[in-house]
Amino acid sequence: MSREDYSKPDYYSRRAKREGYPARSVYKLKELDERYRILRVGNKVLDLGASPGSWMKYCSEIIGENGLVVGIDRNELKHSVLRNEVFIKGDIYELKPEQIEREYGKFDVVLSDLAPDTMGNKTTDAVRSIALAERAYEFARVLLKIGGKFLVKVFQGDGFEDFMKSLRGGFNSVKSTKPKSSRASSAEMFIFCSGFSIAKGGKS
- CATH number of the domain bearing residue 110: 3.40.50.150
pLDDT for residue 64 is more than 80: yes
Burial code (b: 16+ CB inside 10 Å, e: under 16) for 77-102 equals: bebeebebbebeeeebeeeebeebee
Query: Could you tell me if 157 and 188 are in contact, meaning their C-beta atoms sit under 8 angstroms apart?
Result: no
Neighbours of 74 (CB within 10 A): 13
**pLDDT for the residue 22:** 64
pTM of the model: 0.89
Q: Is 79 a member of any domain? A: yes
Q: What distances in angstroms separate CA 163 from CA 36, 49, 140, 170, one per listed residue?
A: 21, 19, 14, 11
110-157 tens-digit pLDDT: 999 999 887 778 889 999 999 999 999 999 999 999 999 999 999 998
Q: Which amino acid is it at 92?
A: I
Q: Is 113 a member of any domain? A: yes
Distance of alpha carbon 149 from alpha carbon 164, whole angstroms: 15
Q: Is 141 a member of any domain? A: yes
Query: Could you tell me if 55 and 113 are in contact, meaning their C-beta atoms sit under 8 angstroms apart?
Result: yes
Distance of alpha carbon 199 from alpha carbon 118, whole angstroms: 36
Mean pLDDT of 170-175: 97
Neighbours of 58 (CB within 10 A): 21
Instruction: Identify the active-site residue in 78, 153, 165, 178.
Output: 153
Q: State whether residue 90 is helix, strand or coil.
A: coil
Q: Is 204 a member of any domain? A: no
In the structure, what pLDDT confidence band is assigned to residue 57 with cuts at 50, 70 and 90? very high
Q: Is 18 a member of any domain? A: no
Mean pLDDT of 87-107: 98
Q: Is 3 a member of any domain? A: no
Largest Cα–Cα distance of the chain, in whole Å? 50
Q: Which residue has the higher pLDDT, 203 or 100?
A: 100
9-49 tens-digit pLDDT: 677 678 767 766 767 788 999 999 999 999 999 999 999 99
Q: Which residue has the higher pLDDT, 198 or 6?
A: 198
Containing structural domain, residue 87: 26-196
Query: Could you tell me if 132 and 188 are in contact, meaning their C-beta atoms sit under 8 angstroms apart?
Result: no
In the DSSP assignment, the letter for residue 5 is -
Residue 153 known to be catalytic: yes
Closest by CA position to 75, among listed 100, 58, 56: 56
Number of domains present in the structure of the chain: 1
Mean pLDDT of 174-178: 96
In the structure, what pLDDT confidence band is assigned to residue 3 with cuts at 50, 70 and 90? very low
178-198 tens-digit pLDDT: 998 787 777 899 999 999 997
